[in-house]
Chain A
Amino acid sequence: MAALLLRSTTGGIRCLTKGPAFISTTTTTTISSRLGFSRLTKLRRSYSTTISQDLLNKKVQVYQSTSNDPYLNLSIEHHLLQHSHPDSYVLFLYINDPCVVIGRNQNPWLEVNLPALQETEDIKLVRRRSGGGTVFHDHGNVNWSVICPPAVFDRDRHAEMVVRALKDLGVTTAKVNERHDIVIAGDGRGNGKDVFKVSGSAYKLTRLRSLHHGTCLLNSPQLKNIGKFLRSPGEPYIKARGVESVRSPIRNVDVDTQEFNKRVVDEFLAMYEEQFGEDVTVERVGEDLKDMSNIRKGMDELTSIPWIYGQTPQFTFSSRPTEDDPRERPPLDLDVQSDFNIEFTLRHGEIQTANVSGLKYEGPATDKDFYDGMISKALAKGSDDESAVKLYEIKDWAAVLKSATAGQGLKVSDSSLNSLSEWLNKVFPGSHFR
């Protein structure tokens, strides 16, 4: 399988069709335990327009989202993490609209093919609050998320729960690997030996609670394109602090999303229901939760540009090998001098230091170094300066370079400036999409 996926994940579900609020249905769920017995439990699955304190205090809570908004679903998840009872066990399942989700301490310019996302306008960019690497979500992924007390947390416990759910569905080769990912051999049902990742893991640990989430690839129609979305044009030039993704071959498990949800809920209840008797709730939640102030606040943060881009750990960008990043660089097709170089150091997505040299100028070429230096100085204003150049605010590099060279005695040649702008627009495109 050519497609590649990165190392972390998030969890979620579609499961129930979106319907009018206040519809309450009662369904019967079969719970099968891995010990081989099964029993029937009657559970009321109601649609909740809010998450009451009463629900948050239940010992065992299951929520399934009817919304596909990644920012809303991650904010519901965060609300559950912050406000569920410290001793409770919570399962949250959701399915997101197409989006690329980077880990808390990652670099979008390094991890994501931003121009490809811009071309496919309906793919959103999301930075989650948990650690780990970059993943792709769409309607063929179910995100599963478990919140539990730190005392019982370990990194494999709930990945194993999902593995049992997959095995119930006939995916007999599913297992958790040493990276806490869920992998299958071949098609998962005895055909083929190659190992594929089908679900990752990421964690968020707070004082009172531990969250583990993952995204399970069931039947994504975009499987072949995922590698493309996660391959950045800036990668050869960027060296970043923080967390880099690890690529793994991936494939669809080829399981129905609703069937998967049902089995995961069953396995979760099998783990905790017995322990807590009647104190169990199974709810559907959705768009109405946008009216809850804490969830609204969470969404505002997740959709803010300073969070998505500004949270990026320090990184360097350099068109030539440096002591710190000696990799050979791919050849550039720019109209510049042979000694051309461009280097930035960036913090919070703002240019801290800049070094531009080897541009072509119009007219007789004296003091070029001086003018190159002026441009470098204009680009690097540092973090104390309100007018620091923020990568994520740049819509067109030509405008930035023109303003950096304005008023100079020697003019950068149009062709030099345009070729450089075109390249930089690809590596650092504006943030006019989310």
Chain B
Amino acid sequence: MASIARCLRIARPSAVSAFAQSSVRIARPFSVTANNEVRKYTREHEWIELSDDKKTGYVGISSYAAKALGDVVFVELPEEGKEVQAGDALGAVESVKSAADINAPISCKVVASNMTLEESPSTINKVPEDHSASGGWVAKVQLSEKGVADFEKLMDEEAYKEFTAAEDH
């Protein structure tokens, strides 16, 4: 995800209506993620949450990004088996005439894509940080050794909160 979070920050008032909330802190739907320690964020607004054994993880876009993007009308999902390095495009979302890359937060291999998003792309607006069956996660991935190292470099929730607060000012 590019820094789309900033897309509309300085847009004209008439264009801002749908996105007016973008800079407002919203309660994140963390109900499904008991252990926040294993969830980290990128500066490009992706999140990744690792399983307890740190061998697999779920990837998605942050609530902050989902708000800023506006209504998502299509999600390009990665093919199963795709291998990517941290920062490579993993997929893409389209909203408000914008095709935005979703980047891999870490080096990993895609083991599943969230097919719910094919049928119902707006799920990514509603529950972007939920990795349950009806959630807005994008892909389930398998970590390489390098991926584990990449993970350590990412921001935890607290740091990401500060980061997005700074972006808004």
- A residues sitting closer than 8 Å to B (CB atoms) are 7-8, 103-105, 129-133, 150-151, 153-157, 176-178, 180, 200-210, 241-243, 313-314
In whole Å, how far is A324's beta carbon from the nearest beta carbon of chain B? 11
Q: Among A157, A206, A313, point to the contact of B74 (Cβ < 8 A).
A: A313
In whole angstroms, what is the CA distance A243 to B99 when docked?
11
B112 beta carbon closer than 8 Å to chain A: no
In whole angstroms, what is the CA distance A132 to B99 when docked?
8
Count how many pairs of residues, one from A and one from B, have CB atoms less than 8 Å apart in the complex. Answer: 105
What residues of B have a CB within 8 angstroms of the CB of A104 in the complex?
A: 92, 94, 99
B50 beta carbon closer than 8 Å to chain A: no
What residues of A have a CB within 8 angstroms of the CB of B2 in the complex?
A: 150, 205-210
Closest to A8 in B: B97
CB atoms of A130 and B96 under 8 A apart: no
Give the B interface residue count (CB, 8 A): 31
B114 beta carbon closer than 8 Å to chain A: no
CB atoms of B118 and A241 under 8 A apart: yes
Q: In the complex, identify which listed stretch (B5-13, B122-130, B147-155) lies at the interface while the others stay far away.
A: B5-13
Residues of B76-120 whose CB lies within 8 A of A: 76, 87, 89, 92, 94-101, 103, 118-119
Q: Among B4, B15, B99, point to the contact of A130 (Cβ < 8 A).
A: B99
CB atoms of A132 and B97 under 8 A apart: yes
Closest to A208 in B: B2
Closest to B74 in A: A105
Q: Among B74, B87, B101, point to the contact of A243 (Cβ < 8 A).
A: B74
What residues of A have a CB within 8 angstroms of the CB of B74 in the complex?
A: 105, 241-243, 313
In whole Å, how far is B16's beta carbon from the nearest beta carbon of chain A? 9
Closest 5 CB pairs of A and B: A150-B3, A132-B97, A203-B98, A205-B2, A205-B100
CB atoms of B97 and A202 under 8 A apart: yes
CB atoms of B6 and A154 under 8 A apart: yes
B31 beta carbon closer than 8 Å to chain A: no
Most chain A beta-carbon contacts within 10 A, residue among B3, B73, B76, B97: B97
Do A7 and B97 form a contact, CB below 8 Å, given A155-B11, A156-B15, A243-B73? yes
In whole Å, how far is A368's beta carbon from the nearest beta carbon of chain B? 34
Interface of A is mostly: loop
In whole Å, how far is B86's beta carbon from the nearest beta carbon of chain A? 11
What residues of A have a CB within 8 angstroms of the CB of B98 in the complex?
A: 130-132, 155, 202-205
CB atoms of B99 and A155 under 8 A apart: no
B44 beta carbon closer than 8 Å to chain A: yes
Do A206 and B101 form a contact, CB below 8 Å, given A150-B4, A178-B15, A243-B74? yes
CB atoms of B101 and A155 under 8 A apart: no
CB atoms of B44 and A207 under 8 A apart: yes
CB atoms of A153 and B7 under 8 A apart: yes
Please give 14 more A-B residue pairs, beta carbons under 8 A apart, in addition to A154-B6, A176-B15, A208-B2.
A7-B97, A104-B92, A105-B73, A105-B94, A131-B98, A178-B14, A180-B15, A203-B99, A203-B100, A206-B2, A207-B103, A209-B2, A210-B2, A243-B73
CB atoms of A156 and B76 under 8 A apart: no
CB atoms of B3 and A203 under 8 A apart: no
In whole Å, how far is A349's beta carbon from the nearest beta carbon of chain B? 15
Closest to B103 in A: A207
In whole angstroms, what is the CA distance A7 to B96 when docked?
10
In whole angstroms, what is the CA distance A203 to B12 when docked?
17
CB atoms of B97 and A203 under 8 A apart: yes
Q: Among A129, A133, A208, A314, point to the contact of B118 (Cβ < 8 A).
A: A314
What residues of A have a CB within 8 angstroms of the CB of B103 in the complex?
A: 207
Most chain B beta-carbon contacts within 10 A, residue among A8, A156, A200: A156
Q: Among B7, B17, B73, B97, point to the contact of A154 (Cβ < 8 A).
A: B7
Most chain B beta-carbon contacts within 10 A, residue among A154, A178, A180, A207: A207
In whole Å, how far is A159's beta carbon from the nearest beta carbon of chain B? 10
What residues of A have a CB within 8 angstroms of the CB of B3 in the complex?
A: 150-151, 153, 205, 210
Q: Among A155, A206, A210, A313, point to the contact of B15 (Cβ < 8 A).
A: A155
In whole angstroms, what is the CA distance A159 to B44 when docked?
25
Do A154 and B8 form a contact, CB below 8 Å, given A178-B15, A314-B118? yes
CB atoms of A154 and B94 under 8 A apart: no
CB atoms of A150 and B6 under 8 A apart: yes
In whole Å, how far is A104's beta carbon from the nearest beta carbon of chain B? 5
Q: Among B6, B12, B118, point to the contact of A151 (Cβ < 8 A).
A: B6
What residues of A have a CB within 8 angstroms of the CB of B12 in the complex?
A: 156, 176
What residues of A have a CB within 8 angstroms of the CB of B119 in the complex?
A: 241
What residues of A have a CB within 8 angstroms of the CB of B99 in the complex?
A: 103-105, 129-131, 203-205
In whole angstroms, what is the CA distance A202 to B99 when docked?
8
Q: List 26 A-B contacts (CB under 8 A).
A: A103-B99, A104-B92, A105-B73, A105-B74, A131-B96, A150-B2, A153-B3, A153-B7, A154-B7, A155-B96, A156-B11, A156-B15, A200-B97, A203-B96, A203-B97, A203-B99, A203-B100, A205-B2, A205-B98, A207-B2, A207-B101, A207-B103, A210-B3, A241-B119, A243-B73, A313-B118
What residues of B have a CB within 8 angstroms of the CB of A241 in the complex?
A: 74, 118-119
In whole angstroms, what is the CA distance A29 to B101 when docked?
37
A interface footprint on B55-84 (CB within 8 Å = 1, 0 otherwise): 000000000000000000110100000000
In whole angstroms, what is the CA distance A205 to B96 when docked?
12
In whole angstroms, what is the CA distance A338 to B94 when docked?
41
What residues of B have a CB within 8 angstroms of the CB of A313 in the complex?
A: 74, 118
CB atoms of B11 and A243 under 8 A apart: no
In whole Å, how far is A111's beta carbon from the nearest beta carbon of chain B? 14
In whole angstroms, what is the CA distance A155 to B2 when docked?
14
What residues of B have a CB within 8 angstroms of the CB of A242 in the complex?
A: 73-74, 94
